[in-house]
Amino acid sequence: MEVIIKETPEQMARLGAELIAEVVRRKPKCVLGLATGSTPVSTYRELIRMHKNEGLDFSRATTFNLDEYVGLAHEHDQSYHFFMWENLFKQINVNPKNVHVPDGMAKDIPAFCRWYEEQIVKAGGIDLQLLGIGSNGHIAFNEPGSSLGSRTRVKTLDERTRADNARFFKSMNEVPKYAITMGIGTIMDARQLLLLASGAGKAEAIQKTCEGPITAMVPATIVQLHPKAVIVTDKAAAVKLTREYPAEPRVLVLQ
């Protein structure tokens, strides 16, 4: 696991985008696992810039998103479908047929989750999975206590997660209680992981993830077991780390 600390959130976002772009350039038919939330927005902005100014080509790429709220229609402005189209898909040349976001309106959620897992396998597996991290150490919506071997399924959101995400809704009551999420096992099957974290609110979770024991109580700690994982943080998210980490990748880990 490689931990890289950048000075600012902008630098974190730029390195994140460069690492993703490298995968797309080397393997145009790549399968990208994508995340939502505040953290990846500036990384997506940089990817859009690379597409527009440098011709970064997503036309053969396939994408799978980590998660989606249950009960939010695709057009709902807080659904992750909406988020992904607004913040990335609309502005790059990805083929809409190759885009996958879990369907929070699925009538039969367990059947949908099985189908989602099958689609990932059919696409050849995920080459690079982008991750954010919750202040409670969740990855995707695998909340503390989630099975470290879990697969795509419905999860009840932690009250802490609902409170963290309430900023996007009019009131706490509107924050969904359930989400469909890739499991930790699903995420760990990706060939490479790229976890981004920015801001002081993530400092404790990042310290545990990088330096703590592996535990289901901090799901992101599982990343320590992945043979090809990179964590890029800004300075604020790194303040509780006790060891020295570089500001540049030591080796070009993602390919």
Q: Which residues bind ligand F6R (CB under 6 A)?
A: 35-39, 66-67, 132-134, 138-140
Residues 22, 232, 185: CA angle, nearest 5 degrees:
85
Minimum separation from the CB atom of position 36 to ligand F6R (A) = 4
Closer by beta carbon to ligand F6R, 39 or else 62: 39
Minimum separation from the CB atom of position 39 to ligand F6R (A) = 3
> What is the side-by-side strand order in the sheet with 178-181?
67-69, 178-181, 153-156
Which structure tokens are listed for 25? 């350039």
Minimum separation from the CB atom of position 182 to ligand F6R (A) = 8
67 catalytic? Reply is yes
CA distance 195 to 172: 27
136 catalytic? Reply is yes
Largest CA distance in the chain: 49
Minimum separation from the CB atom of position 233 to ligand F6R (A) = 12
Minimum separation from the CB atom of position 79 to ligand F6R (A) = 12
Q: Which residues, at least 6 apart from 215, have a Cβ–Cβ distance to it below 8 Å? A: 221
CA distance 144 to 217: 4
Closer by beta carbon to ligand F6R, 81 or else 191: 81
Catalytic residue among 68, 127, 143, 189: 143
Closer by beta carbon to ligand F6R, 156 or else 255: 156
Catalytic residue among 65, 87, 136, 165: 136
CA distance 13 to 2: 16
User: Half-sphere exposure of 66 toward its Cβ, with a 13 Å CA cutoff?
Assistant: 26
Closer by beta carbon to ligand F6R, 109 or else 237: 237
Q: Which residues, at least 6 apart from 67, have a Cβ–Cβ distance to it below 8 Å? A: 36, 80, 102, 140, 141, 179, 180, 181, 182
Closer by beta carbon to ligand F6R, 38 or else 207: 38
Measured from each CB, the residue nearest to ligand F6R is 132
CA distance 97 to 93: 12
Minimum separation from the CB atom of position 134 to ligand F6R (A) = 4
CA distance 233 to 238: 6
226 catalytic? Reply is no
Closer by beta carbon to ligand F6R, 57 or else 199: 199
Catalytic residue among 67, 68, 103, 164: 67
189 catalytic? Reply is no
Q: Write out the catalytic residue numbers.
A: 67, 136, 138, 143
